[in-house]
């Protein structure tokens, strides 16, 4: 399952504990989850990570506010070992101690 592998690459339970990620949703080619916006940079409170056709990851960082959704940043075609660094740099949240 792709979503489970993405969560493992992010740090699994340590990631969930450190970031406050919740409402995890596995979709056909990836994983999405909500973040507590008050802790993340630029009020990012939604992240969607998708495995693309090149076997690399695309990440969409956004803000959900009421019934509106606004994309704050996208990162395209990164390797699995770059997921954590991109997430930490974009959100300002640490994924481990």
Is residue 10, in this structure, part of any structural domain at all?
Answer: yes
Count of domains in the chain?
A: 1
Q: SS3 of 91, please?
A: helix
Is residue 47, in this structure, part of any structural domain at all?
Answer: yes
Is residue 50, in this structure, part of any structural domain at all?
Answer: yes
Is residue 96, in this structure, part of any structural domain at all?
Answer: no
97 pLDDT exceeds 90? Answer: no
Q: Kindly report, residue by residue over 9-49, the tens digit of the pLDDT.
A: 999 999 999 999 999 999 999 999 999 977 778 899 999 99
The per-residue pLDDT for 22 is 96
Tokens 């390797």 belong to which residue? 79
Q: Is 25 exposed, middle or buried (0-12, 13-18, 19+ CB in 10 A)?
A: exposed
């Amino acid at each position: 399952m792709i979503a489970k592998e993405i969560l493992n690459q992010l740090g699994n339970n340590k990631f969930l504990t450190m970031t406050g990620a919740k409402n995890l949703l596995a979709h056909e080619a990836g994983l999405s989850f909500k973040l507590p916006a008050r802790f993340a940079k630029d009020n990012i409170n939604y992240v969607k990570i998708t495995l693309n056709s090149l076997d690399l990851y695309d990440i969409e960082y956004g803000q959900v506010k009421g019934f509106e959704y606004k994309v704050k940043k996208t990162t395209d075609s990164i390797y699995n070992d770059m997921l954590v660094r991109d997430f930490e740099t974009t959100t300002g949240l640490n994924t481990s101690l």
